[in-house]
A and B are shown apart, each in its own frame.
Chain A
Amino acid sequence: ETGVTQTPRHLVMGMTNKKSLKCEQHLGHNAMYWYKQSAKKPLELMFVYNFKEQTENNSVPSRFSPECPNSSHLFLHLHTLQPEDSALYLCASSQEVGRGAVDTQYFGPGTRLTVL
């Protein structure tokens, strides 16, 4: 276990549903990330939060809405998704101490999302 948990592990939803993915880290980190991993494509960074503030939105469609209520929790709210949004969604956390810091990201197991 890496200290980063994600729920649910599997999710099937229709295009008109609204659902949320949850991530929790127990490492005392101050930065959290959402990644999307589609079949046969590299891992894509979606959002970055530092100290609960969003510092990166990698041109993600508005049907994906992140929320970071505190440094330990990160949510990804989903609505009106498309079948091509089916993927593995990974959460990660790290300790950011500013530019140039040496650190690594710790990943959760991911949520396998299928959009029908």
Chain B
Amino acid sequence: KQEVTQIPAALSVPEGENLVLNCSFTDSAIYNLQWFRQDPGKGLTSLLLIQSSQREQTSGRLNASLDKSSGRSTLYIAASQPGDSATYLCAVRNTMEYGNKLVFGAGTILRVKS
């Protein structure tokens, strides 16, 4: 059974810092991995999707890497801003599962202080 773990559970940093969020998964037979953002009282917004054949994806100040063999992904946020404060969720889709069934981690709560 796939399990996804995110470290740290919470992170507080001053504005402008570069930071790394970590995600690990137990079953390396994944189809893809996604990073989501969740703001309080709102649903999830997809940030980056990495296919199993890819090593990384970039969008603006965000860069996500994937090491499928070791079961790890990192989300790098450059020059953090207070608006980046949110919960960041990692989710994987297993290769052998039919349909778009995602297994989520518990998330990292990020607070960027101005």
Residue numbers of A with Cβ under 8 A of B are 2, 4, 6, 31, 33, 40-45, 48, 50, 55-56, 90, 92, 94, 96, 99-110, 112
Contacts and interface: CB of A to CB of B under 8 A. Distances in A.
Contacts of A55: 98-99
Contacts of A40: 106
B101 A108 contact: no
A43 B51 contact: no
B43 A108 contact: yes
Nearest to A43: B104
Contact of A94 (B31, B100, B104): B100
Given A102-B51, A104-B34, A2 B101 contact: no
Contacts of B106: 40-42
A90 B43 contact: yes
B32 A2 contact: no
Given A102-B51, A104-B34, A110 B42 contact: yes
Nearest to A9: B41
Nearest to A105: B100
Contact of A42 (B4, B34, B44, B45): B4
A99 B98 contact: yes
A14 B52 CA distance: 45
Interface string B39-65: 001111110010100000000000000
